[in-house]
Amino acid sequence: MPSAAAHTESARINLRTSPQAKALIERAAALTGATVSSFISQTMFEASSRIVNQVETITLSQEAFEAFVSTCENPPEPTSALVKLMANAK
């Protein structure tokens, strides 16, 4: 996965925060040897990637996965309600 620092183009994000949060962010950035801007950018990029991955990834047990694959490979016959719905959709 590419890091935020790997891009040559940049885009601006304006951020307002409390003085306490700003001080803590500045301290953490200094402790890691990063600028505040690069620290915020990298940290938020990593957190955003985690969140998107968690929301967009479906995790199944082996049993559930096998049931899903089996249903896809051997779908049940459509119910009369489904047939009627699809006929009306045309």
Instruction: Confirm whether pTM is higher than 0.85.
Output: no
**Do 39 and 25 meet the contact criterion of CB atoms below 8 Å apart?**
yes
Residue 9 is classified by DSSP as S
The pLDDT tens digits for 3-17 are 555 667 889 999 999
Residue located via tokens 């304006």: 14
What are the tokens at 19?
Answer: 């003085």
pLDDT single digits (tens) 21-64: 999 999 999 999 999 999 999 999 999 999 999 999 999 999 99
- Chain centre distance of CA 53: 3
